[in-house]
Chains A and B, each alone.
Chain A
């Protein structure tokens, strides 16, 4: 078990900065998901939020010197792939019927 220091400690970036960046990215994603009306753009904002959460997980994994965070990110990636596939399929199905994916106009369940 080698314990070579890969990074010069005096130059290291505090983990808190990564967490701050993750929070900012998550906030940007939240604002995007709330203000955009195009279904695809909302989806993209949600992907952004997922990615910010991943960054926080990796940062904590580094802070606590454990791999669990990385493994969690692995699962998040897989679930994001499944979510994107099903979500985009739903958009295609809605577009076939409504000719739009503007969520102001998708009110199939309201009537």
Chain B
């Protein structure tokens, strides 16, 4: 029974992961990755880690990939994709490189563990959430807190990086303005135009023009 479940979801994970890297549209890649993550979560349950499987579904499939979908739809990317520079030969070379990495991984991973059945039978104590929590909050308390800090920093960083520049920065006042001032003119103008359009009538009409004139530029 366990073998059948393993075979089914291992094949599902393999197939869907191939779709992830082969499909042209990032939307389908993302949805296929959800299927891969689900299959791997089932394997986590088989390996006696139901809590990690739940986390995988909640955090990965539920939050991270939804974020991906949001960004894909926001940016409206996908469809056409140029080949890598160098054409088919280069593509083949990268695929061979990937295969080499895979072979190396296989060798490293399997050398100590080939064939053997699990060291010990799966016990209820090993699977229990209580034991995991006790270990996490006793032995690994400091890393846990640091991860919390990391998430906070990531949230702040993401907000700062992705936010729309203010009018002052667009006209060259702030740090971001100084960075954008060095850009080629057309993309900058289009950006300012889009910002104005998205912002509705709230922004003064003079701002896109003002940014284009480059008054605050060194």
- Tell me the dominant secondary structure on chain B's binding face: helix
Q: Which A-B residue pairs are the 7 nearest by beta carbons?
A: A27-B102, A32-B21, A31-B98, A82-B154, A89-B162, A89-B158, A34-B94
**Using an 8 Å CB-CB cutoff, how does the interface string of B142-170 with A read, 1 for contact, 0 for none?**
01000100110111011101100000000
A residues 65-111 touching B (CB-CB < 8 Å): 65, 67-68, 70-71, 73-75, 77-86, 88-93, 95-102, 104
The answer to the question of B127 belonging to the interface, with a C-beta cut-off of 8 Å to chain A, is: yes
- From B10, B14, B71, B98, A88 is in contact (CB under 8 Å) with B71
The answer to the question of B49 belonging to the interface, with a C-beta cut-off of 8 Å to chain A, is: yes
Determine whether the beta carbon of B60 is less than 8 Å from that of A80: yes
Q: Which residue of A lies closest to B105 (CB)?
A: A23
Q: Given A9-B121, A27-B105, decide whether A61 and B59 contact each other with a Cβ distance below 8 A.
A: no
**What bracket does the count of chain B residues touching chain A fall in?**
35 or more
The answer to the question of B216 belonging to the interface, with a C-beta cut-off of 8 Å to chain A, is: no
- From B49, B75, B147, B157, A70 is in contact (CB under 8 Å) with B49
- From A12, A64, A84, B2 is in contact (CB under 8 Å) with A12
Residues of B within 8 A of A (CB): 1-3, 6, 10, 13-14, 17-18, 20-21, 26, 29-30, 33, 36-37, 40, 43-44, 46-49, 51-52, 55-56, 59-60, 63-64, 67-68, 71-72, 74-75, 77-78, 81-85, 91, 94-95, 97-99, 101-103, 105-106, 109-110, 113-127, 131-132, 135-136, 140, 143, 147, 150-151, 153-155, 157-159, 161-162, 180, 183, 187-188, 190-191, 194
Which of the listed residues B71, B91, B110, B151 has the most CB atoms from chain A within 10 Å of its own CB? B71
**What bracket does the count of chain A residues touching chain B fall in?**
35 or more
Chain A residues within 8 Å of B59, by CB: 77, 81
Q: Which residue of B lies closest to A51 (CB)?
A: B40
Q: Which residue of B lies closest to A45 (CB)?
A: B21
Q: Given A31-B94, A86-B154, A89-B161, decide whether A38 and B77 contact each other with a Cβ distance below 8 A.
A: yes
- Shortest CB distance A57–B (Å): 9
Bound: A24/B99 CA distance, A: 9
Summed over the interface, the residue pairs from A and B with CB atoms below 8 Å come to a total of 291
Cβ contacts A to B, 6 pairs, < 8 Å: A9-B117, A20-B110, A31-B21, A55-B43, A61-B47, A96-B191
Chain B residues within 8 Å of A27, by CB: 98-99, 101-103, 105-106
